[in-house]
Structure 1
């Protein structure tokens, strides 16, 4: 059967949009917590993934592009077809930018998740460092892509041939993919040790580690994309397919924890306290009594994880080990009673 790049691009995009829609629905209507920064980055990634999918389709199936041309074949293109090739080349240029923004936006979702998971723990500083690294690698990748071919209009120049750096961009596949892989490894280093040390059943621990380590498949996609693109331009369709798979797997990974509230009825997913699995230390102080505070469950603070993928450290479960992460929260309430003497006379 003949490989159809367009079918794969739009099929993976459609499934990814559905998965992301389920996550957002779960967050807003099931868990009723509203949208947070990780959701903003998810939506941003989806927008640019959509842009990448459309521009790749236009570049490969509609207009054509200067990718794969040589000085000889470029001069052989009829003048009346040059505008079409130019439009396709612009789409290819935009697709590169959209790819970079989408991939790093999905990394940002995991960074914000790790930041909430580690709130109140010493690993929180590590998650902040990873976030800074993510920003730096994103800026380096974007600047490298824009500075690779100067002046900028040569990126969509058809005649005369602008050169490999403006069309094939072989260094992009090496530099940008290496930065992406390094960032993925750094992001994985934060949640995996927490899950391993957490006092949860072994089966659940294995599932969570497998979830966070799914980023390895994203790295494999990046490596294969770079390999097929650098070794042989005739496999461009295969390279673009791996780019789409990389975005698709990234969406599934970052959305999986947010879909958890849909499965609260199942015992495997249940938690008893804060949804991030850790009770953050609170600065102790006096809290004024409220008439209805017992009737309403306290809402989690903005710094707390909304994902609910790790059970509370103090909860007793089968298979718990004697060691693990334990963070204790002490909240002191001081109630003041004021007795008021009311005296008066009744006159008849």
Structure 2
């Protein structure tokens, strides 16, 4: 080796850029959120059974939501095995089809986690609402399932044959990336708005209840946790620009916020039930919320 070439070698190594890999941060975050959500669901189910209360539809929907969240986290972990977390230029070509397939799978389960946990909270509200508030809850429950259900289906039916999504090749896509981003943006905005409305509706119900002020404020605080789920939905909108980006490292924020939306909704839906059960256990002799406001179904 000549002196000049020997001198050039360290220079090229020095200018070589390191490979960015955010897979540890992605895995750590999504599994942390999934574990915290599992804690809230488990505590809710334990509290109901401990108080000898039967599980109701809102419980089943919440359990289904957490299972979907866990399946999404598993799919994302598989994605990291196929180089998710790295820049597009650093992803091995042989890994790309499997990475794309499992990323669609993760998105599908993430959407179901969000919609089923939101449905759980709406079902809880149905058990305490009447009149026009009940009609509003029914409208939100049905519409959010239609809007987000279509988004979940869109993960798979936007192209034909379906495998064109991850294998490429001949076929047609009836929705380009711009339309997919636009619909995702609409869904995130609608979902966030629905969360806020569901969080505010209990104010109208609880405020007229003839109960102590401290109990009323505690119930309002517990039932308003859905506002944070709405914030999570709205915060997903800026990350949607990653859809269709050739550099898949831009998807990391979207996956994390998508997981956070489902996890926060699950926690928000669990808190009112936990508070009601805890209140019944610790203060059985104090005036309670009327039977029309019982959060635990028979």
Query: Would you say same fold, with TM above 0.5?
Result: yes
Residue 62 (structure 1) aligns with: 81
The answer as to whether partners of 1:67 and 1:89 remain within 8 angstroms in 2 is no
The separation in 2 between residues aligned to 1:92 and 1:243, in whole angstroms, is 12
1:114-125 alignment, distance < 5 Å: 114-118=125-129, 123-125=133-135
Q: Distance in 2 between matches of 1:158 and 1:220?
A: 36
The answer for the alignment partner of 2:116 in structure 1 is 105
Of 135, 140, 145, 2:150 maps to: 140
Larger gyration radius, structure 1 or structure 2: 1
Q: Which has the higher helix share?
A: 2
What TM-score, normalized by structure 1, do the two folds share?
0.66
Which one of the candidate residues 180, 199, 202 is aligned to 1:191? 202
1:67/1:181 CA distance change after superposition, 3 Å: farther
Question: 1:155·1:166 contact (CA, 8 Å) conserved in 2?
Answer: no
CA contact (8 A) 1:104 1:134 kept: yes
Which residue is equivalent to 1:87?
98
**Counterparts of 1:40 and 1:12 in 2: how far apart (Å)?**
20
Q: Is the 1:106–1:251 Cα contact (8 Å) retained in structure 2?
A: yes
Match of 1:249 in 2: 264
Equivalence for 1:126 = 136
Distance 1:226 1:194, change over 3 A: same
After TM superposition, give the deviation of residue 271 of structure 1 in Å.
Answer: 5.7
In the TM superposition, what whole-angstrom CA distance separates every residue of 1:200-228 from its partner, at most 9, and x where no partner exists?
A: 33343333333333322222222222202
Q: What number of residue pairs does the alignment pair up?
A: 269
Q: Are the structure 2 counterparts of residues 241 and 271 from structure 1 closer, same or farther at C-alpha, using a change threshold of 3 Å?
A: farther
Task: Identify unmatched segments of 5+ residues in structure 1.
Answer: 281-302, 309-348
Task: Give the 3 Å change call, closer, same or farther, for CA 98–221 of structure 1 in structure 2.
Answer: same
1:309-324 to structure 2, matched below 5 A, reads: none
Contact kept? 2:65, 2:117, Cα under 8 Å: yes
C-alpha deviation, 1:159, in angstroms: 7.2
Matching residue of 1:157 = 167
CA change 1:68–1:187 in 2 (3 A) is farther
Q: Secondary structure at the match of 2:103?
A: helix
CA distance in 1, matches of 2:147, 2:132: 24
Q: Which moved more, 1:169-178 or 1:49-58?
A: 169-178
Shift of 1:248: 1.8
Contact in 2 for aligned 1:224/1:239 (Cα 8 Å): no
**C-alpha distance after superposition, 1:266-324 (max 9, x if no partner):** 34x86657xxx3345xxxxxxxxxxxxxxxxxxxxxx964179xxxxxxxxxxxxxxxx
Provide the TM-score with structure 2 as the length reference. Answer: 0.75
**CA–CA separation in structure 2 for the residues paired with 1:236 and 1:168:** 17
Task: Tell me the distance in 2 between the aligned counterparts of 1:279 and 1:205.
Answer: 14
2-side partners of 1:143 and 1:270: how far apart? 50
Native 8 Å contact 2:115 2:144 kept in 1:
yes
Alpha carbons of structure 1 residues 278 and 149: separation in structure 2 relative to 1, 3 Å: farther
Looking at structure 2, the residues matched to 134 and 18 of structure 1 have their Cα atoms a distance apart, in angstroms, of 26
Q: Which has the higher contact order (CA 8 A, sep 6+)?
A: 2
Q: Residues 185 and 240 of structure 2 are in contact (CA less than 8 Å); yes or no, is this contact kept in structure 1?
A: no
For the residues of structure 1 that align with 2:81 and 2:178, how far apart are their CA atoms?
18
Match of 2:58 in 1: 38
Unaligned runs of 5+ in 2: 1-21
Q: Is the 8 A contact 2:72 2:106 kept in 1?
A: yes
SS in 1 for 2:98: helix
> Whole-Å Cα distance in 2 between the matches of residues 272 and 77 of structure 1?
62
2:46 alignment partner in structure 1? 25
RMSD of equivalent CA atoms: 3.6
